Amino acid sequence: MHILVTGGAGFIGSNLVHFLLEHRPDCHLTVLDSLTYAGCRQNLARWEGDPRFRFVEGSITDPQAVDLAMQGARTCLHLAAETHVDRSIHDGAQFIATNVGGTQVLLDGARRHELERFVLVSTDEVYGSIPEGSFLETDPLCPSSPYSASKAGADLLALAHHHTYGTPVLITRCTNNFGPYQYPEKLIPFFLSQAMQGHELPVYGDGLQVRDWIDVEDHCEALLQVLEKGSPGEVYNVGAGHEVTNLEITQTLLDLLGKPQSLIRHVQDRPGHDRRYSVDTTRLRALGWKPRHEFRETLERTVDWYRRNQAWWEDLRRKREEYQKFYEQQYAGRLGGG
Ligand code: NAD
Ligand code: DAU
């Protein structure tokens, strides 16, 4: 099996590369990644020189790079994207170019190269917020942010390709991931890095927004199951069913680090902030998948990873000056640290 993984130098992508090469020792992987601010080739350093691994630096919006990366591949796991909601609120243009435009180029490539399966990694955010209960795959999409709208665009485009051309597309819509290698702008790694440096943790609004947190390795296993056992044209929700408020997570992180709760700072809410996400995962579980990891155990392991890999996240944080300026304006300069 030769799989193309787009976005393999990012958070989920690099965890997926490790997972696939460890659990499917016969497989060959090509990673296509343009190494944006969120991509870190160092994440994949342990596979450099392995004959099963090839890295192509290039953009999914570039048909030539896509052709090069698809050579020899039979399937594709498509993760490359602009992924941070706050950045999309600041400037959505790159989100449309990459998430919609890039997916179009890849889908065309999948047809030219006659790929046997094309898994689009979408998100639970395409459904929008749900006050109670859980979304089914058949529910309408109602995205709230420029990020989730761009992901919904890609998701629908992929389904349209299946409908129109018979492209063997499968879609996954997963909840919030956490674990090692997550860029320190997302809630858990951002707050860990803030707290370790003694800075405040900016909780948006009342902090009672609910997310369903899944260990990134459980997500990787779900992607492999969908790739190997899913039905083309089908959508699969992915989630661990572990719902927690942002405030609870923040308090737990501070406890685990032995830092004072006084570091919590309620700041102005994210515009258009979704209150709660929740998805029904019955369809995926019917393929034989279930989450293996406990929330608390993964959180402890994640805290430990960020403690041991301070140089990794300090380096990435230093490279985000432009975003930091926006972030401080957006949240009224009420944050400590850089
Ligand atoms: P990330 O931001 O950590 O990584 C994104 C990767 O894509 C980076 O390596 C970046 O360099 C690469 N990339 C960006 N633009 C590119 C382009 N034009 N061409 C090639 N590569 C490009 O993202 P992540 O959190 O690992 O998310 C991966 C995927 O999973 C995304 O599609 C995201 O929408 C989806 N998703 C994420 C979560 C989550 O909780 N993080 C949950 C559900 C779905
Ligand atoms: O649900 C899946 C999605 O999860 C993915 O599709 C996205 O790519 C991923 O970024 C994530 O989106 P969120 O917006 O939920 O993640 P984020 O880590 O940015 O925020 C999690 C929650 O924490 C959200 O309710 C906003 C809040 N938050 C976040 C930050 C960065 C804060 O209160 N303060 C912060 O500084």
Tokens representing residue 39 in the block: 């991509």
Q: pLDDT, tens digit, for every residue of 258-292?
A: 999 999 999 999 999 999 999 999 999 999 999 99
Sequential DSSP letters for 133-186: S-B-TTSPP---SHHHHHHHHHHHHHHHHHHHH---EEEEEE-EEESTT--TTS
Pocket test for ligand 1, best of 4, 6, 12 (most atoms within 8 A of CB): 12
Say which ligand is closest to the CA of 190.
Answer: 2
What's the predicted TM-score (pTM) here?
0.97
Q: Is beta strand 201-204 parallel, antiparallel or unpaired with respect to 264-267?
A: parallel
Ligand 2 atom closest to the CA of 190, numbered from 1: 31
Domains belonging to the chain, first-starting first, are 2-177+215-238 (3.40.50.720), 180-211+242-271+294-325 (3.90.25.10)
Ligand 2: residue whose CA is nearest its atom 31? 187
Q: pLDDT, tens digit, for every residue of 37-63?
A: 999 999 999 999 999 999 999 999 999
CA separation for the pair 116, 118 (Å, rounded): 7
Give the binding-site residues of ligand 2, using a 6 Å CB cut-off. 83-85, 123-125, 175-176, 186-187, 190, 202-204, 209, 211, 246, 270, 277
Q: Which residues are catalytic?
A: 124-125, 147
Residue spans of beta strands (DSSP E) within the chain: 2-6, 28-33, 53-57, 75-78, 117-123, 169-174, 176-178, 201-204, 210-215, 235-238, 243-245, 264-267
Confidence band, pLDDT 50/70/90 cuts, at residue 336: very low
Pocket test for ligand 1, best of 31, 32, 36, 105 (most atoms within 8 A of CB): 36
Residue type at 327?
A: Y
Buried b (16+ CB within 10 A) or exposed e, 230-264: beeebbbbbbbbbbbbbbebbbbbbebbebeeebb
Ligand 2: residue whose CA is nearest its atom 15? 176
Confidence band, pLDDT 50/70/90 cuts, at residue 29: very high
The dihedrals phi and psi of 270, each to the nearest 5 degrees, come to -65, 130
CA separation for the pair 69, 112 (Å, rounded): 13
